């Protein structure tokens, strides 16, 4: 059976291009950045002092984010998974958790953000948590 070299070249080129596009999408996913870099981006969207309702609106308006948890009083939920905020005196009074998405290499890594508020409902800190699947 004779292989048409022109056809073979087109198939190899198409496979190569599709592979490159998939790899670029994987490696340019903004969730691959460090937790601190993601945190800084979130602080640009929701700076210190932002009200809880405004943070909820930002989360709900983002196409890929999912609001997971809103706590209007002492946040045992955050402390249960070991999240540690810089301002320990204020942290955990009120909180919001959102799922930001995931990225994959060999294992999936889910990315979550926690917005922490004082007793007046004003943002005081953000924590980004990456949860890696294990085999």
Average pLDDT of the chain is: 82
| More confident: 43 or 87 | 43
| More confident: 134 or 95 | 95
Residue 39: pLDDT above 90? yes
Confidence of residue 15 (pLDDT cuts 50, 70, 90): confident
How far is it, in rounded angstroms, from Cα 121 to Cα 115? 11
Confidence of residue 71 (pLDDT cuts 50, 70, 90): confident
Within-domain flag for 27: no
Within-domain flag for 50: yes
The number of folded domains in the chain is: 1
| Residues with Cβ within 8 Å of residue 12, at least 6 apart in sequence | none
Within-domain flag for 100: yes
- Residue (of 33, 37, 39) closest to 123 by Cα position: 39
Q: Are 114 and 95 in contact (CB under 8 A)?
A: yes
pLDDT of residue 119: 84
pLDDT digits (tens, 9 = 90+) for 92-128: 578 899 999 998 877 889 999 999 998 889 999 999 9
Q: C-alpha angle 59/115/78, rounded to 5°?
A: 120
User: For the ranges 7-11, 35-39, 85-89, 100-104, which has the lowest average pLDDT?
Assistant: 85-89
β-pairing, 108-117 vs 66-71, is unpaired
Domain that holds residue 104: 32-132
Q: Are 79 and 92 in contact (CB under 8 A)?
A: yes
pLDDT of residue 104: 82
Which pTM does this prediction carry? 0.72
* b/e code 32-47 from CB counts within 10 Å (16+ = b): eeeeeebeeebeeebe
pLDDT of residue 89: 52
Q: Provide the 10 A C-beta neighbour count for residue 75.
A: 23
């Amino acid at each position: 059976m004779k292989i048409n070299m022109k056809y073979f070249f087109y198939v190899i080129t198409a496979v190569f291009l599709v592979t490159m596009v998939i790899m670029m999408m994987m490696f340019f996913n903004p969730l691959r950045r460090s937790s601190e870099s993601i945190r800084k981006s979130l602080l640009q969207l929701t700076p210190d002092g932002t009200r809880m309702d405004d943070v909820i609106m930002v989360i709900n308006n983002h196409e890929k984010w999912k609001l997971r948890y809103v706590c209007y009083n002492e946040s045992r939920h955050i402390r249960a998974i070991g999240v540690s905020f810089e301002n320990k005196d204020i942290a955990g009074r009120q909180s919001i958790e959102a799922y930001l998405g995931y990225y994959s290499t060999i294992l999936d890594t889910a990315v979550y953000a926690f917005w922490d508020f004082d007793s007046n409902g004003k943002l005081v800190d953000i924590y980004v948590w990456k949860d890696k699947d294990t085999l």
